Structure 1
Amino acid sequence: MAARWLRLTSSTFRPLSLSPLSLRLLPSSPSSSSRCFSSSSSSSSHSPHSTPAQEDSSYAPPSSRNLLDHVGQPTSLSHPELMSPADITPGITAQEYIHRRNSLLDQLPPGSVAIVASAPVKMMTDVVPYTFRQDADYLYLTGCIQPGGVALLSHHSGFCMFMPDPDPHEIVWQGQVAGVDAAIDFFKADKAFPLSMMTKLVPEMLKGATGVFHNPKTAATSPYFKLEAFQKALANYQVKDISTYTHKLRWIKSPSEIRLMRESASIACQSLIQTMLHSRTYPDESKLAAKVEFECKMRGAQRMAFNPVVGGGANGSTIHYSRNDKKIREGELVLMDIGCELHGYLSDLTRTWPPSGKFNPYQEELYSLILETNNECVKLCKPGASIREMHNYSVKMLMKGLKELGIIKGEMSSYHQLNPTSIGHYLGMDVHDSALLSTDRPLQPGVIITIEPGVYIPPSCDAPDRYCGMGIRIEDEVLITETGHEVLTASMPKEITHLKTLLNMSSGKPADDVP
């Protein structure tokens, strides 16, 4: 997803250490208004590869069979094909979530309180919600993918979760959701309370706080925002954006996160290859958008990372084109920018190709310039480099090439009209991940970025007519490693000869015979 070019500025309480296998799923107690966690827990001796559940997907221990929906999201009991008993979300263990919260506590100033609310449910109509997607910071710290909760973290109070009050009417329509028992037993909160108790408890928790950190994006719809204690802190300039800290934590991916992002990238690559093959027979923007979404979900993705950009012909010159409603004409290029989400982690890649299977000479020379810029900028990816340095390098390359092709005269303003985007952005739980961090920041091992040079020439412009109405972008995901980099989208063809071979596989015509 093309990045806008922005100038960005750049003795501790610990929750109890728990056995990652201790996932006690206890039934909610209507009479219990809160619970505090006990360190005693049971452990399973079965590995995720030898459980009876894998032999019989309907199997659950008798004591747990009626508890599969207690948590309101996948668990190792309800989804043994996805999760091990150690996981809170697929691939991410309880211990990793605890480590994340400890890391945040280590960074917060002494006496601070962090409050992070879940994302709100957005409605399409009065009774029809849009598909829910959790706020990345709330998910990163809690592992809870459900709406309605609020997490509070401090050295004094530990990790507290306020969970939605049970509503029998809503359960009939929407299904079971996590309550206070699930907050402690599954999400490993130190304390848990019904959301209705926020009015009474949060003012006490904020008393004496030297600073309050929260997520402004989710605050307005959360009940804590209207509390007098919070509003008083806000009026006294004690409230700050917690993203200053969480974006730093999320910037460097753990080995578990990298595994998920590799898989997400692999799903996107495989799906786009199938869509590319499909484009020869069905050169239609809407059909290609539907095809890539189908392929991603068939391979395990929960949703698309964003509405696919499928720009045929001149539509490819609109950077974030989203209508996807036009038939692609013979001889035109199509630009597809797509990504999918796998258990909270996103992929993002772009390819441009001719569905007909052949480039005309002008398309090929402009495509070659973008491809060379992509390859050279990928080579620059290593610890210590920065996105800003790569961007500046790409601008020099593209300006030189566009001048040689006669597309621009050489003025910087002319270049920015044809490419107002950055060479890339950070990628992770959000498409533009860790957005508060400066692109001047020296890259470190574990950071994942995109490299996506492009040119977007509108139908009416001062460029030679043969180039007008042409949009080309080539985007890859790159993981920074100790020794350099790893291209996570390397399996997706981008060389002209490879694209020709792929597109003409089903035609029975050798690639060498294609002009």
Structure 2
Amino acid sequence: MKKTIWTFVMLMFAASAFAQSYFEDGLTSEWHRGRRDELRKLMPENSVAVFFNNPVKNRTNDVDFVYHPNTDFFYLTGFREPNAVLVLFSELREINGEMADELIFVQNRDPRAEMWNGKRLGLEGMMNELGFEEALLNSDFGAKSGINLQDFDKILTFSLSESIEESTSNEPLITMVNEFKAATAYPDKLTEASAQLYTMIKNSDLETSDRVVQMLKRYQNQYPEMMDDPFISSFMNAESPEKRMVVKEEMPEQKLDITALASMMATLREIKTPEEITLLRKAVMISAVGQIEVMKAAKVGMTEREIQGVHEFIYKRYGAEELGYPSIVGSGNNGCILHYIENDKRDLTDRLLLMDLGAEWRGYTADVTRTIPINGKFNAEEKAIYELVYQAQEAGIAISKPGVTFQEIDAAGRQIINDGLAKLGIIKKGESHMYFPHGTSHHIGLDVHDSGTRDPLKEGIVFTIEPGIYIPEGSDCDPKWWGIGVRIEDDILITEDGAVNLSEAAPRTIAAIEEMMRLPSVLEEWVLPEID
């Protein structure tokens, strides 16, 4: 009797936890199914695509990091639990007497585990909540599933060379990965780099083989172990193009492909659907409001972490479930460290404050950066550098439209920065420098550096324009410029008419920032007790 009551209590507790896991205002199961259908259109005939969800990662002792699904997996399924595998077929095929074009393998319901970690969807949830017609337990992955991977001409997946952290939480995933490797004869040393080299060789001919050898030699500097592969080594050492073609013909045909799927997913994910754009707009707007409220709240004497906390409080106040990436809040010289996340400087004085943060809304992340003077007023040197970055960003936004490339946007802003730094005497005209060391743009979406191609811009792409100038202490220029770090980053949607700045609500001109910083903050009356 006690056992029956205990099981009932566990099930009731698990049911109450369900609302914590999924989003009523997020993407629908129909949307995810549509994405799977679009992927099938890109897959070769008689192929299968296998997606493993992310492993659980330990933070310390018996505490794990908050689980985040693999973004390709989430994009295709909407599923947010570990120990799962999605299998897509390019065409309908008979599996255990039933016609199917997909199977998903998930962990079983477990009242005791759900008491601690929240409800699992289980098989019924996968079908009722996420719209799958067929779901199996992860313990049935492999031979029990009725799928014979050798029946396919191509087996598409991602690199499985990275070891999975050994833990009880990951045991089902490790078992499934090992079963997949055994079924596909997955080579021990197969990596994305070696797979790309094989593809390069396979696509070579008499006219291009010399060029391929030169590319292989460049790879060799980075991956010297590649020479352990007999076919790569033989191709590189062949005495003539004709002998290289002999080596090429002797290379075994590979059913297993760990590179093509990444390209397919990049093609799908770079063009955002209207549903995705709605979620991105919300993430960006929350992030812009965070920048606005910090401009009003910032004052001399605060700490970097306090500034970070205000941003993140705004995110949580609006219901954003996570940060898109670790928050960057750097004062003075810390702003010259591109991925500075310690945020531990205290008693901020009169330096610039670079703030690069993004809220995650229903899986989609913003990426918005503003640079402000903590005392509310830019000095002459800060104004000069800030204005250069602003004009560089304006130039990039102005030319952003379908058909323009990331390279053209970068070149437009970089020219302004290079000319401006020379005019200020920080560099000599035409001199190479490291004051603008990063690219200007990247896609955003489910990842802050989202999947996408480097093809010309198309309608529906959302990306960043983020020029910057960073002059760390000790630089080879007048010390009056030292410790000035400025980045301005906005999230841009491409439409048929050009660029829409989704984060324009956050002030970015010198005058608008200084005006915003003069306004009162809603947090001024929020006084906490002193703690020794």
Distance 1:395 1:455 in 2: 10
Bigger mean CA deviation after superposition, 189-198 or 235-244:
235-244
Counterpart of 1:198?
A: 141
* CA distance in 2 between partners of 1:229 and 1:355 (Å): 55
Instruction: Point out the more displaced range, 497-506 or 247-256.
Output: 497-506
Give the partner amino acid of 2:474. Answer: S
Q: Do the aligned residues in 1 keep the contact of 2:300 with 2:350 (CA within 8 Å)?
A: no
| Pick aligned residue for 2:314 from 295, 299, 308 | 295
Q: Structure 1 stretches (4+) deviating beyond 6 angstroms?
A: none
How far apart, CA to CA, are the structure 2 residues paired with 1:202 and 1:70? 29
The alignment status of 1:122 with 2:136, answered yes or no, reads: no
Partner of 1:225: 177
Contact (CA 8 Å) 1:312, 1:327: kept in 2 or not?
A: no
TM-score (normalised: structure 1): 0.79
CA distance in 2: counterparts of 1:67 and 1:479, whole angstroms: 44
2:488 is the counterpart of 1:469? no
Change (3 A) 1:329 1:271: closer
- My pick for the range that moved more, 424-433 or 165-174, is 165-174
Q: Name the Cα RMSD after superposition.
A: 2.3
Q: 1:225-374 residue pairs with structure 2 within 5 A?
A: 225-227=177-179, 230=182, 232-235=184-187, 236=254, 238-241=256-259, 242-280=261-299, 283-327=302-346, 329-374=348-393
Distance 1:290 1:342, change over 3 A: same
For 2:495 and 2:142, the matched residues in 1 are separated by 47
List alignment gaps of at least 5 residues for structure 2. Answer: 1-10, 94-99, 165-172, 188-253, 522-532
Partner AA of 1:470 in structure 2: I
* 1:93 partnered with 2:28: yes
463 and 271 in structure 1: CA distance in 2 versus 1, 3 angstrom threshold: same
Deviations 1:166-194 (A, max 9, x none): 33431232132011111122212231111
Bigger relative contact order, structure 1 or 2, given CA contacts below 8 A and separation 6+? Answer: 1
> 1:165 is matched by which residue type in structure 2?
N
Question: d(CA) in 1 for partners of 2:473 and 2:43?
Answer: 51
One-letter amino acid matched to 1:419? F
The structure 2 residue matched to 1:175, chosen from 92, 110, 118, is: 118
Q: Secondary structure at the match of 1:173?
A: helix
Contact 1:184 1:190 in 2 (8 A): yes
Q: Following TM superposition, by how much is the alpha carbon of 1:114 offset from its aligned partner in structure 2, in angstroms?
A: 0.8
Separation in 2, partners of 1:133, 1:456: 32
* Alpha-carbon distance between aligned partners in 2 of 1:68 and 1:380, rounded to the nearest angstrom: 55
Contact 1:117 1:219 in 2 (8 A): no
Structure 2 residue aligned with 1:87: none
Question: 1:8-48 CA deviation, whole Å, 9 max, x = no partner?
Answer: xxxxxxxxxxxxxxxxxxxxxxxxxxxxxxxxxxxxxxxxx
Contact 2:333 2:473 in 1 (8 A): yes
* Deviating more after overlay: 227-236 vs 333-342: 227-236
Distance (whole Å) between structure 2 residues aligned to residue 319 and residue 449 of structure 1: 19
Amino acid at match of 2:494: I
Asked if 2 retains the 8 angstrom alpha-carbon contact of 1:224 and 1:230, the reply is no
- Offset at residue 233 of structure 1 (A): 4.6
Instruction: Extract unaligned runs of 5+ from structure 1.
Output: 1-65, 84-89, 508-515
The residue number in structure 2 matching 1:496 is: 510
Match of 1:124, SS state, is: strand
Structure 1 segment 125-140 matched on structure 2, within 5 A: 125-140=60-75
- Name the CA shift for 1:67/1:206 in 2 (closer, same or farther; >3 Å): farther
The 1:474/1:217 distance shift into structure 2, 3 A limit, reads farther
Secondary structure, counterpart of 1:227 in structure 2: helix
| Residues 387-440 of structure 1: per-residue CA shift (max 9 Å, x gap) | 1111122221110011001111134532xx1111001101111011015x22xx
> What corresponds to 1:146 in structure 2?
81
Instruction: State how far apart, in whole Å, the 1-side matches of 2:335 and 2:112 are.
Output: 48
- CA–CA distance in structure 1, aligned partners of residues 163 and 15 of structure 2: 29
Contact 1:265–1:348 (8 Å) recurs in 2: yes
- Report the CA distance shift for 1:118/1:282 in structure 2 as closer, same or farther (over 3 A): farther
Residue equivalent to 1:420 = 437
Decide whether the 8 Å contact of 1:203 with 1:229 is kept in 2.
Answer: no
Deviation at 1:98, TM superposition (A): 1.4
Correspondence for 1:189? 132
CA distance in 2, matches of 1:339, 1:496: 22
Alpha-carbon shift at residue 230 of structure 1 (Å): 4.9
- Identify if the C-alpha distance between structure 1 residues 181 and 245 changes in structure 2 by more than 3 Å, giving closer, same or farther: same
Instruction: Measure, in 1, the Cα distance between the counterparts of 2:118 and 2:352.
Output: 46
Cα separation, 2, equivalents of 1:462 and 1:268: 36
CA pair 116-73 structure 1, distance change in 2 beyond 3 A: farther
Aligned to 1:409: 428
Q: State how far apart, in whole Å, the 1-side matches of 2:255 and 2:426 are.
A: 51
Native 8 Å contact 1:120 1:218 kept in 2: no
Whole-angstrom CA distance in 2 between matches of 1:379 and 1:353: 23
1:275–1:228: structure 2 CA closer, same or farther, 3 Å change rule?
A: closer
What TM-score does the superposition give when structure 2 sets the normalisation length?
A: 0.76
Matched, 1:378 2:397: yes
Q: 1-side partners of 2:63 and 2:161: how far apart?
A: 20
Larger helix percent: 2
Deviation digits for residues 342-381 of structure 1 (CA, Å, limit 9, x no counterpart): 0011100100010111111111111111111111111111
Match of 2:47 among 112, 133, 139: 112
Paired-residue identity, %: 30
Q: CA deviation at 1:281?
A: 5.8
User: Structure 1 residues 228 and 315, CA, compared in 2 at 3 Å: closer, same or farther?
Assistant: closer
Give the whole-Å Cα distance in 1 for the aligned partners of 2:75 and 2:163: 20
User: Who wins on radius of gyration, i.e. which is larger?
Assistant: 2
Matched position secondary structure for 2:58: coil
Contact 1:331 1:359 in 2 (8 A): no
CA offset digits 1:289-331 (Å, max 9, x no partner): 1111111111111111111111101111111111100025432
**Residue 92 of structure 1 aligns to which amino acid in structure 2?**
L
